[in-house]
Structure 1
Amino acid sequence: MISHVAMETYWREVRSIEEEEEGEEEEEEEEMKSMDEEEALLSTLTRQQAATVRKRLDNYTETLKTRNRQPIRDVRDIFPQVFVPVSPPQSLTAADDLSSCDLTRLGFISHIELSTFLLALGVQTKRTRPPRRRTRDGGVFGVSLNSLLENDRKTFPGVKVPVVFQKLLCILEETGLETEGILRVPGSAARLKSLRRELDRSCGAFDWSAVRQVDAAGLLKLFIRELPTPLLTHTHLSTYRVSSVVHQIQALQLLALLLPEANRDTLRALLVFLRQVVSHQDRNRMSLWNVSMVMAPNLFTCPRHGNKRSIARQREEMEEAVAGAHLVQLMVTHQDLLWTVRQTGRQTDRQTGRETETDRERERDRQGERETDKERERQTGRERERQTGRETLCEGVIRVHAPLHAKVSMAIQLDGQTRARDVIARFGCDTSCSGQHLYEVGGNICERRLHPDCVLLDVYRVNPHCDWMIKP
């Protein structure tokens, strides 16, 4: 068991969080006191006088809001492709390479697989009510990731991580990676509160040049803590009770697919940054364990570090602290595995896709029975034409479509050595710089972007009725 002395970084971070929260509570009490004094003053006036004063005060307040209002700027995959010495077969897929429809279906499958996995390990998965967190409609802090992204995409279409989060990471990467104690050394609480207000009020006109690295670190941790739904939602709780490191990693891989897309992308950006911090530990004195102990109280609900606690409660808090830091350590170290979909999960997804396709065929048959004879004949003709088109291709031959290229279609004979990059090269594209990818579309899956080294014959065998398309 790790001693309390070794966990001092963790408890220091917990105390810093508690001090910030106490300051916010005092501020709220002062606001309430001010309101009470206002009501006491109004009580000395007649009803008509009080109504007049309130109306003028409301008009004045609204005028100030209008003057200071700034346009809200958008504050901007289980398994990524794992690079191995041997070229990866079709069994490895990055979560980002799948369509949102396939990811949603995989989420349900992963939930079932995780429940079965934990049950086999004897881990009890009881439902607990998540802690209540304040949710705000505007600003930056306490706003859901989806709301932030919705605003950000008005200016930056397609952005996946909130802009303010990206900006804070950028400041830390540019100025703080070699600074001793990055993330660990706290800044001024008063300055942090001031910057928070300014960011919430006018993100679009915010002067980022005035933000120092210690400010950026404090704002980054504050942003994570105040998310209405924790970055890892509440799916991580059961992994505390998994004893084997290998099993914990497997559970985390499954949990990654259960995260909403915005949470998954933001978590990935954070883990990439934390790995950078650790890679500079000879300069910043922030080892993997140091980084994990600092971030754990911000990612997970931290225990209240009071004085009046029983020995049993102190031991429980220590175990929770160590477990939380250990999970962060595993995620930073094995982050590449978190975004890759295993073969078993995709096989189940394909089976579900086959069943869905069968259901669609049955529904089309039922609709056909209700159609007129003329319409049925048209449908039959189109289907016959489609089947005839397929039959013209020999076994192991695929037709690749490239609508954005001069040669829009090409029939290609597959063998055990044909890879996605080879097909793209046949259309005169270089995968390393063109940004063009080969996609598997339809059949028993919605859509999947294939890795350049993917063996196409493997894909063809598991999904012979798919279409093949080259696009960005």
Structure 2
Amino acid sequence: MDHLVKKGIYKDEPAFGGYLEKVCPNEPPRVPQFVQRCIQCIEKSEDNMKTDGLYRASGNLSQVQKIRLQVDQNNLSVLDEEEDVHVLAGALKLFFRELKEPLIPYHAFHKALKAQSTNHNRKDKLLLFRDIIRSLPSPNHDTFKYLLQHLLRITKYKDFNRMHIPNLAIVFGPTLMWSEQESKNMAFDFMQQNLVIEYFLAEFDNVFR
């Protein structure tokens, strides 16, 4: 694949399947336009936000792929035309899963698992997670913050959508972070990844202070 890229035969897609930095604006907040527009479309109505199983339930896969193809042809208006919020949610999850390097970069992966699993007191644990946030490149920092703020707005409708913080963390743990090398204990890492995202959501105000 690298050889094909160098020869110009294969090119990265404009939105999906590339490096985050390359699809972010140069000015802050450095959040991809697709991510901003997709979240705006999800949040545009209270009915969307109240949808049962938002992010947990799967959207129509062919519709999700249609959005991917259109967005990669720089047609973001396809997001405004989509009426099924599960399809929009599916497209957003796909964007993060397809990144060449996860939103929480490889260098922070083991640091985050260790911060979560080690038996620290509350203050020390908070400092470790703040260090992780400070170590993120600006596109990762800004996009992660933007996404977490959106997910916290989802939880305000938890009585309707049943998406409490732990439920969202289960969905987004493996979507936002994974190891560069295959883990020897994948089940344990998955559980820890979920707990890392759960911590970032639960302690958002303190971590991003």
Q: Distance in 2 between matches of 1:187 and 1:137?
A: 25
1:207 to 78, 86, 89: 78
Query: Between the two proteins, what is the percent identity of the paired residues?
Result: 22
2:170 to 293, 296, 300: 293
Offset of residue 136 of structure 1: 5.0
Aligned residue in 1 for 2:39: 169
Contact 2:109/2:178, CA 8 A, preserved across alignment = no
TM-score between the two structures when normalised by the length of structure 2: 0.81
Give the 5 Å matches for 1:119-134.
none
Q: Distance in 1 between matches of 2:15 and 2:94?
A: 11
Give the 5 Å matches for 1:126-145.
136-145=11-20
Change (3 A) 1:147 1:237: same
**SS of equivalent residue, structure 1 residue 228:** coil
Contact 2:79/2:88, CA 8 A, preserved across alignment = no
Equivalenced residue count is 188
Aligned residue in 2 for 1:238: 111
Q: When you count strand as a share of all residues, which structure comes out higher? A: 1
How large is the RMSD of aligned CA atoms in angstroms? 2.2
Change (3 A) 1:158 1:320: closer
**SS of equivalent residue, structure 2 residue 133:** helix
Unaligned runs of 5+ in 2: 1-9
Contact 2:154/2:163, CA 8 A, preserved across alignment = yes
Contact 1:236/1:252, CA 8 A, preserved across alignment = no
Aligned residue in 1 for 2:200: 331
Q: Distance in 1 between matches of 2:135 and 2:56?
A: 30
Query: Which amino acid in 1 is paired with 2:43?
Result: E
Q: Distance in 1 between matches of 2:11 and 2:37?
A: 21
Give the 5 Å matches for 1:64-463.
136-150=11-25, 158-175=28-45, 176-203=48-75, 206-211=77-82, 212-234=84-106, 235-241=108-114, 242-244=117-119, 246=122, 247-301=124-178, 316-340=185-209
Q: Distance in 2 between matches of 1:162 and 1:275?
A: 19
Change (3 A) 1:243 1:214: same
Q: When you count helix as a share of all residues, which structure comes out higher? A: 2
Contact 1:249/1:330, CA 8 A, preserved across alignment = no
Contact 2:34/2:71, CA 8 A, preserved across alignment = no
Offset of residue 289 of structure 1: 0.9
Contact 2:67/2:78, CA 8 A, preserved across alignment = no
Offset of residue 139 of structure 1: 1.8
Instruction: Name which one, 1 or 2, has greater alpha-carbon Rg.
Output: 1
Contact 1:139/1:203, CA 8 A, preserved across alignment = no
**SS of equivalent residue, structure 1 residue 294:** helix
Q: Distance in 2 between matches of 1:231 and 1:224?
A: 7
Q: Distance in 1 between matches of 2:90 and 2:39?
A: 11
Query: Which amino acid in 1 is paired with 2:81?
Result: A
Query: Which amino acid in 1 is paired with 2:57?
Result: V
Q: Distance in 2 between matches of 1:158 and 1:321?
A: 32
Q: Distance in 1 between matches of 2:20 and 2:190?
A: 26
**SS of equivalent residue, structure 2 residue 22:** helix
Q: Distance in 2 between matches of 1:148 and 1:238?
A: 26
**SS of equivalent residue, structure 1 residue 174:** coil
Offset of residue 138 of structure 1: 4.0
Aligned residue in 1 for 2:6: none
Contact 1:143/1:228, CA 8 A, preserved across alignment = yes
Change (3 A) 1:182 1:158: same
